[in-house]
Chains A and B, each alone.
Chain A
Amino acid sequence: MLDWSTATPAIGAAFLASLVEVVEAFTIVLVVATLRGWKPAVLGTGAALATLGAVVLVLGPLLDRVPLHALQLVIGVLLLLFGIGWLRKASLRAAGVIPLHDENAIFAQETAELSEAVRRQQTSQDWIAGIAAYKAVLLEGLEVIFIVIAVGAGRELLWPASLGALAACALVLVVGVIAHRPLSRVPENTLKFGVGVMLSAFGVFWTGEGLGVDWPGQDLALFVFAAVFLLAGLMSARMVRQPVPEVVQ
């Protein structure tokens, strides 16, 4: 029986994080399709998905062999590193300290770079374009796999988390095919902020459980942690947005 108090944040985190990663990969695949046609784009994407599938097939059974507390601790620490890193960057972007991710600008830059690479190589131009799609999907896909394992493995929620990730892929694919341009209107930093909050909350939760902490309220503690991280992220962004007073020596 699915425990929705744990499954909801796991599925939500997997969906939102995958949405961000798939939008980024889609931009590159679209560059390839625009420059060299859909054949290298689809072949590169298919090969990357096959590689990612092989990674899951190899790593999946290994997870069952790791003791639960050790698995929770390792994944919890990795989630803290990953989640707080995302939240920090999202706070800095929200405060205007670093620029927002712009899919249109990335599309233009990648188009220029791939055009140059293809121009230099007179032969096998489709091969170069296919490799670009392969790398983009593989690199973003690895992050999706980590997030799905991280939020799902500790409570045997790998399948629900995978479904959340697959739903994000399907959504981006459908909207991307209809729009046929970079999905620049996706509120990427807001999503990243939310994902950073969730991953950080999961990180504290799993790390604590791995160390032997029995959290009050069990899985409901996740919501409290998420609220605390959300407040801290918003507060940090607000603090650095304000002008720094001059120091009088």
Chain B
Amino acid sequence: MSILKDVLSELFGMFVGDARLTAAILAMVAVAAVLIDGTALPPLAGGIALLAGCIAVLVVSVRREARQRGAAIARPPEDG
């Protein structure tokens, strides 16, 4: 059972290592799908939005993680 648990945990971690990152990427895919299927814009516009959105998600996610880790290091240990 431990092996099965580890396998499931590994599979989950492969795609949902960071819930915020996962949610942001899925949101970008949803936006692209709406642009392609729900508007009169050419499908390529949705594709470009997907690429640009994923790049933005990557940059924001790296900056957020770096800021959080920096703040954790800079923060003095609490008493007690």
Known: A211-B32, A214-B43. A84 touches B3 (CB 8 A): no
Q: Which B-chain residue is minimally distant from A216 (CB atoms)?
A: B44
Instruction: Decide: B51 and A88 in contact? CB cutoff 8 A.
Output: no
Interface size of B as a range: 35 or more
What's the nearest-Cβ distance from chain B to residue A231, in Å? 9
Instruction: Decide: A134 and B15 in contact? CB cutoff 8 A.
Output: no
Q: Which B-chain residue is minimally distant from A77 (CB atoms)?
A: B29
Q: Number of A-B pairs whose CB atoms are under 8 Å?
A: 122
CA distance A98 to B21 in the complex (A): 17
A215 interface residue (CB < 8 Å to B): yes
Q: How many residues of chain A get a CB closer than 8 Å to chain B's CBs?
A: 44
Instruction: Decide: A215 and B58 in contact? CB cutoff 8 A.
Output: no
Contact with A along B15-46 (1 / 0, CB 8 A): 11110011001100100110011000001101
What's the nearest-Cβ distance from chain B to residue A154, in Å? 15
Instruction: Decide: B59 and A232 in contact? CB cutoff 8 A.
Output: yes
Instruction: Decide: A88 and B21 in contact? CB cutoff 8 A.
Output: yes
What's the nearest-Cβ distance from chain A to residue B66, in Å? 4
Instruction: Decide: B46 and A213 in contact? CB cutoff 8 A.
Output: yes
Q: Which of B29, B43, B47, B65 is close to A97, meaning CB atoms less than 8 Å apart? A: B65
CA distance A146 to B11 in the complex (A): 10
9 pairs from A and B in contact (CB 8 Å cutoff): A81-B16, A84-B57, A91-B58, A95-B62, A98-B69, A208-B32, A211-B47, A228-B55, A233-B58
Interface of B with A (CB < 8 Å)?
3, 6-7, 10-11, 14-18, 21-22, 25-26, 29, 32-33, 36-37, 43-44, 46-47, 50-51, 54-55, 57-59, 61-63, 65-67, 69-70
Q: Which 6 residue pairs spanning A and B have beta carbons closest together?
A: A240-B66, A213-B47, A236-B62, A208-B47, A81-B15, A232-B55
